[in-house]
Chains A and B, each alone.
Chain A
Amino acid sequence: MKVVTFMKQGILVVRLEGELDVCGANEFRTSVDEALTATGAKHILLNMQGVSFIDSSGLGVVLGRYKRIAQLGGKILVVHLEPQIKRIFELAGLMKILTVYQSEEQALDLL
């Protein structure tokens, strides 16, 4: 799993590529937690364009980051959800806590 993080307009942008399973989830957790600590960012923008697979380990790590930033009033914004990934998010009830946008630009403009 490739995890790229950077700050834009005060939001932590996370671009993911690969499979978000138990292995990818560990890499995601390490990178994003380090970035959250270093930047103090309140909101996360997840770009899921390169994510071809997710299971409950991947969902758990997304939920874990949500719990962390929700304490500060933060949100998770999601862009480019593939249909099969979206279906898993829906089954898990995760769509209730995520805000979906069409693109990174739209998400950053509208927040």
Chain B
Amino acid sequence: MEIQIKNQIKLAILSINENVGFARAATAAFSAQADLTLTEIDEIKVAVSEAVSNAVIHGYGSEPHKQNYIELVMNLYQDKLEFIIIDYGYGIANIEEARQPSFSSDPERMGLGFIFMDSFMDELEVQSKLGQGTTIRMVKLLVPSTEH
């Protein structure tokens, strides 16, 4: 049986720092369709912000002169919100290592990006190939409210 999508938005975002805030605002607007608390929407914003920042800083970071795009796909299902962030940049050499706390290629960074994605979302999948790019898929489950 096919799972039905209730709504979908696909965005192509130029990979620059200034657009991370736009991706976050779009994420919050899309998430507002679901029955979520403000705290949950804040958590989703942090998780998507981390994924898009990673794409800008690490995925395409070595070629800032080029016009590179990040794709953000947002899907609303009956029981979950799904966010897919795709870049066609450098890729991650060792995903397991990158997902460890305090792993960072830069001393100014805390290596918390994946930790936040992991702890604020219910599912996190990372696919990456060197030279081809990285795809992050994150899911927030929608728990039916019992308080109505």
- Render B51-89 as a binary contact track against A, CB cut-off 8 A, 1 for contact: 001001100000000000000000000000000000000
- Render A50-64 as a binary contact track against B, CB cut-off 8 A, 1 for contact: 000101110111011
* A98 interfacial contact with B, CB 8 Å: no
Mark B residues whose CB is within 8 Å of A.
17-18, 20-21, 24, 39, 42, 45-46, 49-50, 53, 56-57, 106-113, 115-116, 119
Nearest-CB distance from B112 to chain A (Å)? Answer: 4
Chain A residues closer than 8 Å to B110, beta-carbon distance: 56, 59-60, 63, 92
Mark A residues whose CB is within 8 Å of B.
19, 21-23, 26, 29, 53, 55-57, 59-61, 63-64, 84, 88, 91-92
Chain A residues closer than 8 Å to B39, beta-carbon distance: 84
24 contacts between A and B (CB under 8 A): A19-B21, A19-B24, A21-B21, A21-B24, A21-B53, A22-B20, A23-B17, A23-B20, A26-B17, A29-B108, A53-B24, A53-B42, A53-B46, A55-B46, A55-B49, A55-B50, A55-B53, A55-B113, A56-B110, A60-B110, A63-B108, A63-B110, A64-B107, A84-B39
